[in-house]
Every structure is written in structure tokens, then in C-alpha cells.
Amino acid sequence: MNIVIFGPPGAGKGTQSKFIVNKFNLYQLSTGDLLRNEIKNKTPLGSKISSTINSGELVSDKIVNDLIEKIISNDNYKNKIIFDGYPRSLIQAKNLDDLLIKYKQKIDIVLKLSVSLETIKKRILERQTKENRADDSEEIAIKRFKTYQKSSEPVLDYYKQSNLLKVVNGEAEISKINSEISVLIEAIKG
């Protein structure tokens, strides 16, 4: 089973992905983590993308598409992926479909975590003290939310059309969200 977890920055995608990974034995593909690793390891790609990430904008589709193909093409992860933070634009959503066809897989469910801008700001500022992410200031959090509205929200309609979309209240307590997600995944597992 392949899952897409979708939602604005600070919605809890990473937290919920980790829970799903453990419970259903999947692999978490977080494009944000992959990109931050490039920066941490001071690779040529890392130096190319750091200013984009720190300004709250999206890295080019080509860069992330290449990163995810490396994972999708790996047999160890076949039908075991949770896409966390990808796709974030219509081009990426279409590319993901093409790649999944190429490697004979599909998306089984898209989970959208809904949260208000107020909650996002609060969570991102809390996370800043814990994780020290360069893009977690209030100003950049708002910018990332705007980027989400402009580039990523159109992806929701795309998944609505294919009947894959399930919306989960991301404002609830973490354990409650965990159980709601479990029920949805169990239902498609059959």
C-alpha cells in the first residue's frame, strides 16, 4: 500500500507519518527531510537549495522528482511508501502518477490533515525551539502557508477527482488523529 499524507506546514504530517510507518510497516519518504539532509551534508545540491528552503518557497519540481524516483524505483520500498510532503504541486502530482505507473504501483489513499493558520503558527513556533529549523520563524511560517495555498492546494482537487482523498481533523489530539487514520487505512486494506 502507498499513502500520501497531505496538509499545510505544521499540520502534523511528520508526526502522523511516523505513527503510520510503525503501525503498518511502511517507509516514510519525506522530501523535506531528504532536502535538509543535502544541506546538512553540504552537497552541491544542498548549497543550491538552501536559500529557497529558508525563504519558504518550493524547490524546483525537477529536483524533488529526481529524488523521489530513486526511492520509488527501489524494490525494497515497493508498495510500502508514505509520501510526506510530496506532491506539493500539480506537476508533482502528475509526475508521481507517471512514476507509479512506470514502477507498477499506485496510490491507495490520500490523507489530508486540516488545521487553521493560527494552529500552524503556534505549532511551528513550538517546533522551532525543539528542532531549530531555519525555516520555522513566524515570518517564514506564514510564507510557507501562502506557498501551500498557492501551489499545493490545487493538488487536493486532483485527488478528489480520483476519489482517493480523505480529510482528517488535524486539530484533534495526536492519539485521536492516530486512531482516525488507522481506521481509514484498515478500511482500504480490506
C-alpha cell at 189: 486494506
Length of the chain (residues): 190
Q: Does 58 bind ligand AMP (CB under 6 A)?
A: yes
**Backbone dihedral angles phi then psi of residue 136, each to the nearest 5 degrees:** -100, 25
Q: Does 12 bind ligand AMP (CB under 6 A)?
A: no
Q: Which is nearer to ligand AMP, 75 or 129 (CB)?
A: 129
Rounded Cα distance between 41 and 63, Å, is 17
Q: Does 64 bind ligand AMP (CB under 6 A)?
A: yes
Instruction: Convert 81-105 into a string of H (helix), E (strand) and C (coil).
Output: EEEECCCCCHHHHHHHHHHHHHCCC
Q: Which of 7, 8, 32, 170 binds ligand AMP (CB under 6 A)?
A: 32
Q: Which of 11, 35, 120, 165 binds ligand AMP (CB under 6 A)?
A: 35
For 74: left if phi > 0, alpha if psi spans -120 to 50, otherwise beta; the answer is beta
By CB under 6 A, the residues from 130 to 149 that bind ligand AMP are 135, 144
Q: Does 9 bind ligand AMP (CB under 6 A)?
A: yes
By CB under 6 A, the residues from 84 to 123 that bind ligand AMP are 85-86, 88, 92
Q: Quote the least distance from Cβ 181 to ligand AMP, whole Å.
A: 18
